[in-house]
């Protein structure tokens, strides 16, 4: 398998580069492989989502991108920096300056006895600077300037999540990571939160990676990467740009909640030429319980068949 040299990676264009990423968790009795050779590239300024079922490896990947966990093997670059070579001190600096994190559980984002404004100020104070005006600007960006003096108990779940987004932006990170940011709110509120992400992406140019199990999120982002069994298995690419879609909605040519597919799913081919085929596809041709397939090239198509008995 061909491995890219560091000099061959375009760090000006790419914010995240994962190559053959492996993560193994070990206890006295068991060994769990959470990631097994994952490859992923995220461009600077991209708004994208990572989806997958529970146990697929998506949260493990997010923790590594956030500097909360280290890979067992492979290569991981963020903003041109090799995270595998970071010292503990460099990792702390990275988490403070390069990346912002938004958790599904607001208790990890917010301090309940502080107001919304004071919560956003806190990361700036910890960094040795007090910027109430900047905190107010960030709350305005997420549409909550009118709630700046409200405490946690006075805010709805969606409002709390928007305060969390403002907090994550307080130290001007280049990369924003969101772990199931819409998992605890209703559908309408979820769409509002995703609209905030898109507006911040367009206004600030910050790279945003959202991890979720909800495929509906694809309507608000340009690219969705699906992870299955610790590897990238497929990508959902938008058929037309989000701006074109909004223009069609405005002209009445497209209804905003239209069920029409906005993305096309493409299988990911790794550097060894391997692809992951969904189990439901294999089961439909009677491959369940088998470990071999017949592969033929037919009329410029690759055809998979069950072998003859």
Phi-psi region of 128 (alpha: psi -120 to 50; beta: other; left: phi over 0): left
Q: What pLDDT is recorded for position 6?
A: 65
CB atoms within 10 A of CB 261: 10
For the beta sheet containing 223-228, the strands, ordered from the edge strand earlier in sequence to the opposite edge, are 99-102, 175-179, 207-212, 47-51, 223-228, 231-238, 263-267
**Secondary structure, 3-state, 98-134:** CEEEECCCHHHCCCCCCEHHHHHHHHHHHCCCCCHHH
Q: What pLDDT is recorded for position 186?
A: 84
Strands (E), 13-143: 14-26, 31-43, 47-51, 73-78, 81-82, 99-102
Reported as a pLDDT band with limits 50, 70 and 90, residue 297 is: confident
Tokens 């053959």: give the residue: 20
Q: Has residue 254 got a pLDDT over 70?
A: no
Q: What pLDDT is recorded for position 10?
A: 79
Reported as a pLDDT band with limits 50, 70 and 90, residue 130 is: low
Q: Report the distance separating Cα 198 and Cα 195, nearest Å.
A: 5
Residue ranges per structural domain of the chain: 277-309
pLDDT in tens, 14-57: 999 999 999 998 877 788 888 888 999 999 999 999 988 888 88
pLDDT higher for 239 or 180?
180
Reported as a pLDDT band with limits 50, 70 and 90, residue 1 is: very low
Q: Has residue 301 got a pLDDT over 60?
A: yes
């Amino acid at each position: 398998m061909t491995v890219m040299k560091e000099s061959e990676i375009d760090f000006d264009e790419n914010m995240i580069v994962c190559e053959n990423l492996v993560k193994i968790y070990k206890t006295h009795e068991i060994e769990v492989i959470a990631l097994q050779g994952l490859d992923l590239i995220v461009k600077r300024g991209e708004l994208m989502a990572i989806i997958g079922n529970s146990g697929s490896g998506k949260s493990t990947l997010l923790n590594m991108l956030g500097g909360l966990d280290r890979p067992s093997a492979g290569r991981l670059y963020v903003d041109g920096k090799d995270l595998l070579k970071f010292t503990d001190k460099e990792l702390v600096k990275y988490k403070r300056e390069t990346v912002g994190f938004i958790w599904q559980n607001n208790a990890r984002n917010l301090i309940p006895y502080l107001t919304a404004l004071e919560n956003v100020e806190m990361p700036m104070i910890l960094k040795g600077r007090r910027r109430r005006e900047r905190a107010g600007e960030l709350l305005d960006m997420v549409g909550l300037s009118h709630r700046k003096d409200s405490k946690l108990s006075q805010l709805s779940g969606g409002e709390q999540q928007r305060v969390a987004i403002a907090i994550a932006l307080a130290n001007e990170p280049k990369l924003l990571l969101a772990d199931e940011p819409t998992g605890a709110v209703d559908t309408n509120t979820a769409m509002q939160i995703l609209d905030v992400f898109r507006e911040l992406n367009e206004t600030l140019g910050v790279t945003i990676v959202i991890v979720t199990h909800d495929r509906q999120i694809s309507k608000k982002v340009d690219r969705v990467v699906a992870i299955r069994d610790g590897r990238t298995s497929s990508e959902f690419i938008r058929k037309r740009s989000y701006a074109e879609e909004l223009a069609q909605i405005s002209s009445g040519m497209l209804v905003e909640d239209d069920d029409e597919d906005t993305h096309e799913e493409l299988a990911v081919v790794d550097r060894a030429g391997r692809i992951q085929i969904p189990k439901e596809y294999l089961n439909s041709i009677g491959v369940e319980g088998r470990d071999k397939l017949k592969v033929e090239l037919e009329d410029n198509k690759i055809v998979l068949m069950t072998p003859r008995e």
